[in-house]
Amino acid sequence: MTDPRRPWYGLGLTRLVALAATALLVACSQGLQGTYEDAVGLTRYTFQTDGKVLIQAMGTEVEMTYEKEGDKVKLGSSDNRVVLTVLEDGTLQGPMGVKLTLQRP
C-alpha cells in the first residue's frame, strides 16, 4: 500500500535506514560525529568517529558501518550500499532527496 503524500512509505525499512545513514556519513571529511535527522523526525542517524552509525527509523534500530570519501558517505557493505552526499550547508542528502540535518544538543 502506498500513500502519495509519503513517497518513502513503500520502501523497505532497511533501504530507508541505509539511505539516511549514507547521507550522514558525508557531512564531515574526517568522519562524522553527531545525530542527523530528517525534517519530520522519521529517521535519525547517529554517527560515531569509529566508522559506525546507528540508524533509527519507524521504531527499528540498525547499526551499520560507513566510510567518507570526499563529499560522499557510503553506508553498508559493497554488496548493499547506500550513498549520501554532503551538501555545502553540512546537511546530508540521500536517494530520493531525503535531507538530514545535524541536531544541536
Q: Is 93 helix (H, G, I), strand (E, B) or coil?
A: strand
Cell 559493497, residue? Answer: 78
CA distances to 76, 80, 103 from 33, rounded to whole Å, are 17, 23, 11
User: With 60 as the cut, is the pLDDT of residue 24 above it?
Assistant: no
pLDDT tens profile 33-60: 999 999 999 999 999 989 999 999 989 9
Full set of structural domains in the chain with CATH: 13-90 (2.40.128)
Cell 558517505, residue? Answer: 73
For residue 43, what are the β-bridge partners?
A: 57
Cell 568522519, residue? Answer: 31
H helices, E strands: number in the chain:
1, 8
Q: Is 73 helix (H, G, I), strand (E, B) or coil?
A: strand
Residue 66 and residue 73 in contact, taking contact as beta carbons nearer than 8 Å: yes
pLDDT tens profile 48-105: 989 999 999 989 999 999 999 999 999 998 888 999 999 999 999 988 889 999 998 7
Tell me how long the chain is.
105
**Is pLDDT larger for residue 42 or for residue 12?**
42
Task: Give first-to-last CA distance, the chain, whole Å.
Answer: 37
